[in-house]
């Protein structure tokens, strides 16, 4: 074998091992699916793709995680709501992602009067959504979030319904489904300055969401 051929063989071997290393690293990354409404999507945030909470969460957690945003503006948890997450364009992709971790932040749009008429189904619908993810081959750990506050509301969304009616039912869901809660409401209480339209947090508010979620789903990655 001449020197040129030896060099080519050496390059091919290096490329082969590099490919194997990259594939191994990808396989070891934990996949996080962020399921939610416009607040997860990042509505109203300038440079949404980089500053929504899932994007900021991905940067906080680092290379060991792949975080995908499956938020849909206007989505409800309730199947009988005006825009049930179940029928949105992100429902199937969120499941096809086969996540290792699922973070669900729904309930804000459910507080609208026309949707909250169906509140008796909130617990059962939420548990059904949780189980739809738990049944995936990846058997993900599911976390559910208490919604962020409204100051005091907009778009027919009201803080009083979120605080006094939606959140207690989320407590019930957490208990019945044996899932851990992430309290985004407490994390952003008294921070009306971060909600320009009274409902959607800005980039700084999304940062607090990301930090709060990271501290629960991957505490070893948060200083």
Residue 184 is given by DSSP the state: H
**What pLDDT is attached to residue 12?**
45
Domain range annotation of the chain: 30-221
pLDDT above 70 coverage of the chain, percent: 87
In the predicted structure, residue 190 carries a pLDDT above the cut 50: yes
Q: Which residue has the tokens 């809660």?
A: 181
Answer left, alpha or beta for residue 46, where phi above 0 means left and psi between -120 and 50 means alpha.
beta
Q: Of the candidates 38, 143, 138, 129, which has an alpha carbon nearest to the alpha carbon of residue 96?
A: 138
In the predicted structure, residue 177 carries a pLDDT above the cut 60: yes
**What pLDDT is attached to residue 32?**
98
**What pLDDT is attached to residue 219?**
81
Using pLDDT thresholds of 50, 70 and 90, give the confidence band for residue 1: low
Window from 3-12, 103-112, 176-185 with minimum mean pLDDT: 3-12
**What pLDDT is attached to residue 133?**
98
**What pLDDT is attached to residue 15?**
47
d(C-alpha 76, C-alpha 114), whole Å: 11
Task: Please state the rounded mean pLDDT for residues 151-172.
Answer: 97
Strand partners, 142: 102
CATH hierarchy code of domain 30-221: 3.40.50.1110
3-state secondary structure of 83: coil
Q: What tokens appear for 127 in the block?
A: 């548990």
**What pLDDT is attached to residue 213?**
98
- How high is the mean pLDDT of the chain? 91
Contact status, residue 165 vs residue 119, Cβ threshold 8 Å: yes
pLDDT (tens digit, 9 = 90+) per residue, 58-78? 999 999 999 999 999 999 999
d(C-alpha 184, C-alpha 144), whole Å: 10
3-state helix, strand, coil in the chain (%, to 5): 55, 15, 30
Length of the chain: 223
Contact status, residue 42 vs residue 107, Cβ threshold 8 Å: no
Residue 153 is given by DSSP the state: E
Q: What tokens appear for 21 in the block?
A: 């290393």
CA 181, 175, 122: angle at the middle one, nearest 5? 85
Rg (CA), the chain: 20
**What pLDDT is attached to residue 67?**
98
**What pLDDT is attached to residue 4?**
53
């Amino acid at each position: 074998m001449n020197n040129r051929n030896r060099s080519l063989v050496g390059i091919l071997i290096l490329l082969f091992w590099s490919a194997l290393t990259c594939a191994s690293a990808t396989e070891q990354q934990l996949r996080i699916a962020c399921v939610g409404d416009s607040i997860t999507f990042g509505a109203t945030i300038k440079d949404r793709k980089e500053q929504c909470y899932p994007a900021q969460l991905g940067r906080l957690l680092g290379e060991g995680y792949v975080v995908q945003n499956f938020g849909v503006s206007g989505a409800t948890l309730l199947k009988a709501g005006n825009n049930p997450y179940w029928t949105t364009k992100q429902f199937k992709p969120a499941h096809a992602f086969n996540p290792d971790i699922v973070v669900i932040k729904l309930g804000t749009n459910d507080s609208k009067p026309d949707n909250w008429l169906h509140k008796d189904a909130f617990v059962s619908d939420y548990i059904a959504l949780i189980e739809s993810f738990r049944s995936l081959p990846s058997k993900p750990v599911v976390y559910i979030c208490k919604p962020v506050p409204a100051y005091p509301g907009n778009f027919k969304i009201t803080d009083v319904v979120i605080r006094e009616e939606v959140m207690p039912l989320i407590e019930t869901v957490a208990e019945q489904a044996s899932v851990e809660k992430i309290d985004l409401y407490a994390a952003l209480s008294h921070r009306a300055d971060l909600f320009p339209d009274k409902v959607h947090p800005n980039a700084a508010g999304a940062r607090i969401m990301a930090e709060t979620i990271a501290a629960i789903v991957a505490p070893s990655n948060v200083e």
